[in-house]
Amino acid sequence: AAGVIQSPRHLIKEKRETATLKCYPIPRHDTVYWYQQGPGQDPQFLISFYEKMQSDKGSIPDRFSAQQFSDYHSELNMSSLELGDSALYFCASSLGLKSSYEQYFGPGTRLTVT
Amino acid sequence: SQQGEEDPQALSIQEGENATMNCSYKTSINNLQWYRQNSGRGLVHLILIRSNEREKHSGRLRVTLDTSKKSSSLLITASRAADTASYFCATDDGGAQKLVFGQGTRLTINP
């Protein structure tokens, strides 16, 4: 079965650079979520989209922005990168907005800021 | 963690033994989910239990939910080396779509 696809899988950037992470949800899934997991930490919710509109927002820095496109894929744009942004970034998708729907996670993008 | 604690933080057992992990949360929920994460990899969905359910089974997994105590437990029976991973509980934080994760239990199965 098709799963959530994230690209790139690994990314190395320097401080103050920008990065763009991409997420392709499971076919027919209309809701996308972004999470950040620092080293040894639990995943923290950043932002979510439903039908191309932002549906919820968590602890996402102002330096980050995201959007969902007409084909339901999503991109997380990160600017003025800081060392503390080094983390594993997960995208998850689900069918619908109801919380009872299971979220399926992608393999993650490991971002290293040097 | 925003939501609560997982207990224990680390657990090491022999292959074939049962492993029990506990999770506590703070807010009211509609459902609670358990995920597995192999080192540095993606989160794999294991099981979802709704707030009106008390127990749920899936293969070697058994999940219980006590909403009065705001706690859940995950039992893995007849553990295998391949079960070595971190296990996270996640709740919907009062019905929101976002998931709020516990700190996770790092489980090591020794052959």
| CB distance B103 to B9 below 8 Å | yes
CB contact under 8 A, A100 and B50: yes
What's the rounded mean pLDDT across residues B1-27? 85
A chain contacts of residue B45, beta-carbon cutoff 8 Å: 102-105
State how far the Cα of A55 lies from the Cα of B96, in Å rounded to an integer: 10
State how far the Cα of A54 lies from the Cα of B100, in Å rounded to an integer: 18
* pLDDT value, residue B1: 41
| CB distance B91 to B27 below 8 Å | yes
* pLDDT value, residue B4: 60
Kindly report, residue by residue over A23-80, the tens digit of the pLDDT.
Answer: 999 999 999 999 999 998 999 999 999 999 999 999 899 999 999 999 999 999 999 9
Which chain B residue lies closest to A47 (C-alpha atoms)? Answer: B98
Weakest mean pLDDT among A2-11, A46-55, A100-109, B67-76: A100-109
Closest Cβ–Cβ partner in B42, B88, B102 for A106: B42
Which of B43, B56, B88 should we substitute to test contact with A (largest number of A Cβ atoms within 10 Å)?
B43
CB contact under 8 A, A48 and B98: yes
| CB distance A87 to A42 below 8 Å | no
pLDDT at A112 over 90: yes
Kindly report, residue by residue over B28-44, the tens digit of the pLDDT.
Answer: 888 999 999 998 788 99
What's the rounded mean pLDDT across residues B62-79? 97
Give the mean pLDDT of chain B: 91
pLDDT at A99 over 90: no
* pLDDT value, residue B2: 44
* pLDDT value, residue B3: 55
Under the banding of pLDDT at 50, 70 and 90, the label for residue A21 is very high
pLDDT at B77 over 60: yes
CA atoms within 13 A on the CB side of B8: 9
Q: What tokens appear for B101 in the block? A: 């994760």
Which of A35, A47, A103, A109 should we substitute to test contact with B (largest number of B Cβ atoms within 10 Å)?
A103
What's the rounded mean pLDDT across residues B90-110? 87
* pLDDT value, residue A100: 65
Kindly report, residue by residue over A83-95, the tens digit of the pLDDT.
Answer: 999 999 999 999 9
